[in-house]
Amino acid sequence: MATRGQHLLSADKRFATGGGLIARAIAPLFARLVNQLDDRIRLGGIDGSIPDGTPRRVGFHAPGPVAVVNLHNWMALVRVATSGSVGWYKAWERGEWSSPDPVRIAELFMANALTLGDAARAKGPARWLNALAHRLRDNAPGKARDNIAAHYDLGNDFYAAWLDPSMTYSAARFEPGDTLEQAQHRKIALLLDRLELKPGDRLLEIGCGWGALAIAAARRGASVVGLTLSQEQKDYADARIAEAGLTDKIDIRLTDYRDIDGSFDAIASVEMVEAVGARWWPAYLDTISRALKPGGRAALQYISIDHRLFDRYAASADFIQAYIFPGGMLLDEPAFQALAKTRGLSWDDRDGFGLDYAETLRLWRTAYDRAVDNHRLTGFDERFHRLWRYYLMYCEGGFRGRGIDVAQVTMVNG
């Protein structure tokens, strides 16, 4: 019997993961990759063992993250050498390597991403195949809804089981002693403060999630139009808005951002642009420029990757793009900023807080494990739970390694 989330587990049918009979035959030859990693991991290192059980230390040229990796099969290195993070996940899922804390591995690889170069990225035919597979899931009009549904229509009950009560699925902003819910409300408040909303202002929210920001903005006196492509999110948000008595203030629409009409005093968008894809960055910014009144303010929260890493990252597809967010792409911030400025949108008061996202992800994973233990996530099998845990660990390590960041920025039209 099929279980929920199988479409994500089977995503690798579209992607090269470094397997095959020839790969298995030559796998022992990839032992030399360990020596390459030893030279290229400059910060921190790996403590572990190779398939015959021999202990092996890699890196340790300067202080940095320390990861424990035990290789059980040389195929793990075949997969990472040919298919990068897509193959590395597949090797983990098949038991070809193990670690007591995969977060540290993702942190280590991200901290050393510049010196690693292509050593841990897809190469050759696998890179081309994965780039093509990713391109075929592009967020063109008519396709974007399917990509969003693949992730968000896993079910409102699924997300409610491990998100905080505000149902906020983006980086929180912590102060000492905060609960996750308090930190999420702080994040929303900080973003809304950037907009300088006045009672009666008309706010467009591109990517409204389950409605938390729209409700907070309406309570400040704004009239809100929220956009989503997830029917599950819209249903949940509508019910929540009605319960709050704000139906006359908030209109949640199942509408693509490219199709929005009208003029707004302010625009908010929280971690939506990563789902757009680089091809559609101009269209996204065109929408903001067109919909925002002259002098109006837009506030974005977005995830970016180090500009020096972007070209290699964009040349293939990573684990997140293959399994979790089809069609997605982290921002190359300088390129995106330049596109904004050519449309008359300023780029003001950037505030990055990547380590807050690492903490958010850690707390989500703790809550997820608790939900599994308490049988609150029904209909999902153990393979799916392992995939989802790996996703949360992979992202946490990326933020801890500082190669990716989350930030808020204000844009003023004209």
- The catalytic site residues sit at 395
CA–CA dist 250, 284 (Å, integer): 22
Unique residue bearing structure tokens 């467009």: 204
- Residue the block writes with tokens 């680089």: 278
Question: 267 with 240: CB under 8 angstroms?
Answer: no
How far apart, in whole angstroms, are the C-alpha atoms of residue 47 and residue 37?
A: 12
Of all helices (H) and strands (E), which one includes residue 250? strand 250-254
Q: Which of 364, 408, 381 is nearest to 10 (CA)?
A: 381
Which position has the token pair 């902003």?
173
Residue 152's Cβ-count burial label (10 Å; 0-12, 13-18, 19+) is: buried
Quote the tokens at residue 403.
């190669």
**Cα gap 377→380, rounded to integer Å:** 7
Buried-state track 7-16, b at ≥16 Cβ within 10 A, e below 16: ebbebbebbb
Q: Residue for token digits 């899931």?
A: 137
- Residue 261: how many other CB atoms lie within 10 Å: 7
Distance between CA 154 and CA 170 in Å, rounded? 17
CA dist 215 and 223 (Å) reads 10
Q: Residue 330 and residue 351: Cα distance in Å, rounded?
A: 17
Helix 180-195 / helix 354-373 crossing angle, nearest 10 deg = 140
